[in-house]
């Protein structure tokens, strides 16, 4: 009888270190196949299904729906069955216990020094033993029905098998940690552990290694930049020994009663900051701490734009939403004022660079049941208003369903925020780090307006631009804002393609 295999919660990409268990797709006693979805988990980015790297009988589920699990902690225990399971196991090595995944010296020695954290090393070794399907929804590197092993088999078995090129350690690392659409997120387990222990968001780092590989020096540079803000928050978590923290302990550890010492009021509830709210809080705090922002705003007569849209509808033509029209004006404005479509990067020596992009990935704020997320329309400058409208609608739906990919949620270069849907006129928005600007649109309401020297009632909205003063001055910001405002007041000048 083969020994049980413990599958650890895999690395879900974008520097995420935990996920909330939403539901199980299997139960104890079920027989499962390799790559069969076993659970749905929710991260700060989206809801994803986790496939099993092992085939066999489910013997234990490590966690209950609603609990938060750390990456690298046990998720499910599977006992292999049949001939395939026996072939996948090591013939000569002693069987490991479920709590201690067996060591694989061949790859471990090639990878260099072992991490000091036993849990991180266990996760790394277990990850190598499975199917390789650790990036949810993006395929299995191995493509085999049984777990892949790196320990040498018996000579007779090796001679009987057909020759197959073996992946190198670099290949395994790339396959194991690559985030689709973002090569810079390819990182080693050691670098991931270092970033996690110091509270560094790897999604905000551009790698200095080959093909954008994030190196240890990149994390150290980020620590020099953010240590005053992020280090204090990380200390309480670091102070706890890893072995004393239950992998499946609910985060609602504190009772929702008692009296608050400061106010003398009774405590009605305690709500953990996690998931999307945790990610938003961290990103907004970092934006406020790092970016010297400034805000400019202008009232705009949107009457002509509304009349144009109503005219299209009256003629039976497809009429894009107002946000799509404004998005079209924004992409045109960013072509004229590219300074606002950039990013600031810090070098190891403390110097800074302004990184410009050949294209616009236009993010837009979308309110969901899980919180505020910012999906982005990739290559938005190439799309017409109708095409932008279709993509905005699609991305809004997948974001609300919790199915948006890390690439869709983390690749924006400029953000458009329509807070007018909440019935407010204006807002000094916080820039979506690491971008350098965000444009807000208020509600459209009737206001008195002077037209050709006469007072009239017009449809007026307020545009608010918050920008990073490091990349440009007020002249550039004001020029961009005025460009978009003029386009809204005279839409036909820019909408030949609609």
CA-wise closest residue to 480 among 331, 324, 306: 331
Give the distance from CA 481 to its chain's centroid: 29
Following DSSP, what letter does each residue of 10-75 receive, concatenated? PP-STT--EEEEEEES--TT-EE-TT-EEEEEE-SS-EEEEEPS--EEEEEE---TT-EEETTSEE
CA distance 363 to 377: 6
Cβ neighbourhood burial of 35 (10 Å; 0-12, 13-18, 19+): buried
Query: What b/e readout covers 387-397, taking b as 16+ CB neighbours within 10 angstroms?
Result: bbbbbbeebbe
Cβ-based neighbours of 409, under 8 Å, separated by 6 or more: 45, 46, 373, 374, 375, 376, 399
CA distance 83 to 70: 33
Residue with tokens 């104890």: 28
Cα dihedral 156/160/163/166 (nearest 10): -50
CA distance 165 to 11: 26
Calculate ∠ Cα 20-130-55, nearest 5°: 90
The tokens of 311 are what? 């005219």
Task: Say how many C-beta atoms besides its own lie within 10 A of residue 295's C-beta.
Answer: 15
Cβ-based neighbours of 327, under 8 Å, separated by 6 or more: 362, 364, 377, 380, 385, 388, 392, 416
Full strand arrangement of the beta sheet holding 5-8: 5-8, 74-79, 56-61, 31-32
Just list the catalytic residues: 469
Task: Say how many C-beta atoms besides its own lie within 10 A of residue 58's C-beta.
Answer: 21
Distances (CA, A) of 196 to 113, 234, 309, 378: 18, 9, 49, 29
Cα dihedral 269/275/278/279 (nearest 10): -160
332 backbone dihedrals φ, ψ, rounded to 5°: -65, -40
Q: Which residues pair with residue 5 across a beta bridge? A: 78
Instruction: In the chain, count H helices and then E strands.
Output: 13, 19
């Amino acid at each position: 009888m083969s020994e049980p295999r413990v599958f650890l919660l895999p690395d879900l990409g974008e520097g995420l270190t935990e996920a909330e268990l939403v539901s199980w797709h299997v139960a104890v006693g079920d027989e499962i196949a390799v790559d069969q979805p076993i659970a749905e988990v929710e991260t700060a980015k989206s809801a994803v299904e986790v496939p099993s790297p092992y085939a066999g009988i489910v013997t234990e589920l490590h966690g209950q729906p609603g609990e938060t699990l750390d990456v690298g902690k046990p998720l499910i225990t599977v006992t292999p069955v049949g001939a395939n399971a026996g072939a996948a196991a090591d013939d000569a090595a002693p069987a490991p216990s479920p709590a201690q995944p067996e060591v694989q010296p061949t790859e471990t020695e090639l990878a260099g020094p072992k991490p000091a954290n036993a849990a991180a090393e266990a996760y790394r070794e277990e990850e190598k033993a499975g199917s390789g399907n650790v990036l949810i929804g993006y395929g299995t590197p191995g493509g085999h029905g049984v777990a892949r092993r790196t320990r040498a088999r018996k000579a007779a078995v090796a001679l009987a098998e057909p020759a197959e090129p073996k992946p190198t350690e670099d290949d395994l690392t790339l396959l194991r940690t690559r985030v689709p659409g973002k090569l810079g997120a390819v990182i080693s387990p050691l670098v991931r552990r270092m970033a996690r222990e110091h509270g560094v968001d790897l999604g905000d780092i551009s790698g200095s290694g080959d093909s954008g590989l994030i190196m240890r020096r990149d994390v150290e540079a980020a620590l020099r930049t953010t240590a005053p803000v992020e280090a204090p928050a990380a200390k309480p978590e670091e102070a706890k020994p890893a072995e004393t923290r239950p992998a499946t302990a609910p985060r609602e550890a504190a009772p929702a009663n008692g009296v608050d010492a400061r106010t003398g009021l009774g405590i009605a509830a305690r709500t953990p900051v996690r998931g999307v709210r945790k990610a938003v809080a961290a990103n907004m705090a970092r934006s406020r701490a790092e970016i010297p922002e400034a805000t400019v705003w202008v009232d705009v007569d949107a009457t002509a734009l509304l009349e144009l849209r109503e005219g299209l509808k009256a003629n039976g033509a497809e009429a894009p939403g107002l946000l799509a029209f404004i998005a079209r004006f924004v992409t045109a404005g960013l072509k004229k004022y590219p300074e606002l479509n950039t990013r600031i990067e810090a070098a190891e020596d403390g110097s800074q660079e302004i990184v410009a992009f050949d294209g616009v990935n236009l993010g837009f704020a979308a309110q969901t049941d899980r919180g505020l997320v910012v999906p982005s329309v990739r290559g938005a400058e190439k799309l017409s208003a109708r095409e932008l409208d279709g993509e905005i609608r699609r991305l809004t739906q997948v974001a609300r369903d919790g199915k948006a990919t890390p690439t869709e949620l983390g690749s924006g270069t400029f953000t458009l925020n329509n807070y007018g849907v909440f019935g407010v006129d204006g807002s000094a928005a916080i820039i979506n780090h690491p971008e350098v600007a965000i444009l807000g649109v208020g509600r459209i309401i009737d206001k008195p307006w002077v037209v050709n020297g006469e007072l009239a009632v017009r449809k007026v909205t307020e545009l608010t631009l918050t920008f990073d003063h490091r990349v440009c001055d007020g002249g550039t910001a004001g020029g961009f804002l005025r460009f978009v405002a003029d386009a809204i007041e005279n839409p036909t000048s820019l909408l030949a393609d609609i």
